[in-house]
Chains A and B, each alone.
Chain A
Amino acid sequence: MTDVNQAIRRYAPFWVSILAGIALWEIAGRSTSKAFMVPFSGTLVRLWQLVSRGEFLTQLYDSAQLFLTGFLLALFIGAPLGLLLARVRILRIGIEPYLMILYATPMVALIPFILSMMGFGFAPKVLVVFLFTVFPIVYNTVEGARSIKPELIEVAKSYRSTEWSLWREVMVPYTLPYMMTGVRQAIGRALVGMIAAEFFLSSTGLGQLIMGASQDFDTAGVFACILVIGLIGVGLTRLGLNIERHFARWRQ
């Protein structure tokens, strides 16, 4: 019984707050013009129409493809690059300031260049997601490498550890938690990159769906898309946090 009580006490404010928000949304939607805001119920109806016409799922699939391709590419290039920079000190010192500049540069500004050089198609969009994603991964991996105590590498070396086992047993385990912080940041950025690519390069996926709705003054469609993409964002952020937390246990 006390468990149930505790659970209620813990989750009740959350659900009350969610329900209050939905109620507020409904009231605001009903008391303003339809072109300005659509109530929660109207948004759900529109969402159901989009889903049942099959349009929604194909676009979602398109977006997911773009997201995953760009993200995995960034992970498989960014992580080894980060580790390499971590191991070769002189390279790290040389390249780090430029990485930091790229990390701080708003990558969206490069989209017009990518558009005029690579045109439309899947590849330029993947490049955009990649550019949004790769720097947090590289940057945090390098950050992790700084945290490796030099003594550890010295000990490994004095035991005549081979380069391979040094990587496997010291470098990777030590940098992994940091890399996962990068992965968490990268997930959020990849989502922004995905939408930006779909907005400003050839229009596909959820980006196209929401832009189309906006151009048709279909406010309900816009709300439906924002709701879904928002929930995807929340879900992915959660996933990222869980991944980070899972690996953070290694970090002392």
Chain B
Amino acid sequence: MAETAIGSGIVSSTPAARMATPHSGNFLPRFVAGLAILTAWELVVRAAAPGYVAKPTTVVLAIPRVITDPAFLQAFGSTLMAVAEGLAITLVTGTIIGLAMGRSDTVDRVIRVYINGFNAMPMIIVLPLFSLWFGYSSGARIATIIFAAIFAITMNVADGARSVPREYLEVARSFRSRRLRTLTEIVLPASMPYLLAGFRLAAGRALIGAVVAEFFLSIGGLGYYILYNSRSYHHNEAFVGVLLLAAFGVGFELLVNWSTRRFMPWYRRDEKIS
């Protein structure tokens, strides 16, 4: 159980949640530390590395150039669409499988071994197989994204569906609610916090899956943009791509946190923060 996001995410507070909590006294040390890191990076690169290596000043100068570059925008759009499409498919199928696992012991017994097993597998290992199956195409990228993300969602939804309070189900049964209705109107909403935690995990993995697939298969996208530019010694341009990916990662965290708070105010994930 502990390998789901719950163990490390929801119960304890998440990093993004903490960053979002306002602490007026924290700004100064954070600012100073950030400045120190950037200065150190700049100085080390200037002193020891060849001119093409990315450093803060040149990366900042590259930002306007990169974000107006149509090639970059196209690459960005392509990756974004693939991740969105993959995540949408994952969310629907993963939730259905997860609900089935959580509410039916038979289903759980039959497929849990496989879900756990695939989840423990380093996901990028399937790339050579997917390149054989789907060719060097964007189909292989979608498949990689789905494979990378689906097990996180399934496991979390299954845990969530299993932890629905018994009383809810008893009430539903005494009102003769049909099975499907109980599932969609009671089990699903009750396992929402788990689903969101799974989604946070899955989104990160989907992003990694997309980038790795683009590296491996040489399909156009943000990952390939980074690969191509760093190969041709345009490190600054490539690094803007990395910044965007990092922003994505952080953005997903913040989004999930925000929606947990907004739509599930009863679910206090930040209780532990001192």
Contacts and interface: CB of A to CB of B under 8 A. Distances in A.
Interface of A: 13-14, 17-18, 20-21, 35-36, 90-91, 93-101, 103-106, 108-113, 115-117, 139-140, 143, 146-147, 181, 184-185, 188, 191-192, 194-196, 199-200, 210-211, 213-214, 217, 219, 222-223, 225-226, 229-230, 233-234, 236-237, 241, 244-245
A98 B36 CA distance: 12
The B interface is mostly helix, strand or loop, or mixed, namely helix
B121 A233 contact: yes
A234 B120 CA distance: 5
B128 A213 contact: yes
Interface stretch (B25-33, B90-98, B262-270): B25-33
Contacts of B126: 226
9 contacts: A35-B132, A96-B15, A112-B215, A195-B122, A196-B212, A226-B125, A229-B121, A230-B125, A233-B117
Interface string B100-120: 000000000111011011111
Contact of B235 (A116, A185, A225): A116
B64 interface: no
Contact of A117 (B33, B53, B110, B116): B53
B231 A17 contact: no
A3 B251 CA distance: 52
Contacts of A110: 242
Contacts of A222: 128-129, 132
A14 B124 contact: no
Contact of B33 (A17, A98, A223): A98
A104 B120 contact: no
A48 B201 CA distance: 37
Nearest to B32: A94
Contact of A116 (B18, B230, B241): B230
Contacts of B215: 108, 111-112, 199-200
Interface residues of B, number: 68
B125 A225 contact: yes
B250 A108 contact: no
Contacts of A117: 49, 53
Interface in B1-52: 2-3, 7-8, 12, 15-16, 18-19, 23, 26, 29-30, 32-34, 37, 49
A214 B126 CA distance: 11
Contacts of B117: 230, 233-234
Interface in B191-213: 204, 207-208, 211-212
Contacts of B114: 17, 21
B54 A113 contact: yes
A93 B29 contact: yes
Contacts of A244: 2
A86 B125 CA distance: 36
A35 B216 CA distance: 20
A98 B8 contact: no
B250 A109 contact: no
Contact of B30 (A36, A93, A196): A93
